[in-house]
């Protein structure tokens, strides 16, 4: 078995009106999140971000501007997902990216990863995501675009 690398990318996809794309995980009901995924061998965080966006949504990031927000968080990996990592791994480093699209466009979900998606106002999205790092990514969106929290 090959273990996941404890380094990942999270991509906050948002429309010009600051609606944020959220997807419900297939393996955890009511766990809503942005695009996220671990780096593969010899992959940079930005390469992983672009790959994960395409795999999870069908969006080609080269049609838009994938922005490295130069923000990362270290978090403890949830116990129910630790089996995916080497036995001594307990924490993951997540790099945050933003991807602005013109509007709330249709998404092609990866059925094995997500069961549904929503475009929500950024403040509503902050309340719906399950991870604190996703909340911080949305706060970064607000900071970059000078939105009032």
Q: Which pLDDT belongs to residue 64? A: 96
- Burial of 80: CB neighbours in 10 Å, binned 0-12, 13-18, 19+: exposed
| Residue ranges, the chain, pLDDT below 70 | 1
Q: Which of 90, 98, 114 is nearest to 4 (CA)?
A: 90
Q: What is the pLDDT of residue 85?
A: 97
Question: Class for domain 7-144, per CATH?
Answer: alpha beta
- Strands of 41-143, DSSP E: 65-76, 91-101, 114-121
For residue 144, the model assigns a pLDDT of 96
User: What is the model's pLDDT at position 27?
Assistant: 92
pTM of the model as a whole: 0.96
Q: 116 - beta bridge partners?
A: 24
User: For residue 149, what pLDDT is reported?
Assistant: 80
Say what percent of the chain tops pLDDT 70.
99
């Amino acid at each position: 078995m090959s273990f996941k690398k404890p380094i990942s990318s999270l991509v906050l996809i948002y429309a010009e009106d600051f609606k944020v794309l959220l997807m419900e995980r297939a393996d955890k009901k009511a766990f809503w999140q942005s695009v996220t995924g671990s780096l593969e061998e010899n992959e940079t965080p930005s390469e992983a971000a672009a790959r994960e966006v395409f795999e999870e949504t069908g969006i080609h990031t080269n049609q838009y501007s994938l922005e490295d927000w130069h923000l990362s968080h270290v978090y403890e990996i949830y116990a129910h997902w630790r089996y995916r990592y080497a036995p001594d791994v307990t924490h993951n480093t997540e790099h945050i990216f933003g991807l602005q699209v013109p509007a709330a466009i249709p998404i092609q979900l990866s059925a094995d990863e997500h069961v549904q998606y929503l475009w929500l106002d950024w403040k509503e999205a902050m309340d719906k995501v399950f991870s604190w790092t996703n909340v911080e990514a949305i706060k970064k969106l607000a900071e970059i675009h000078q939105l009032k929290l």
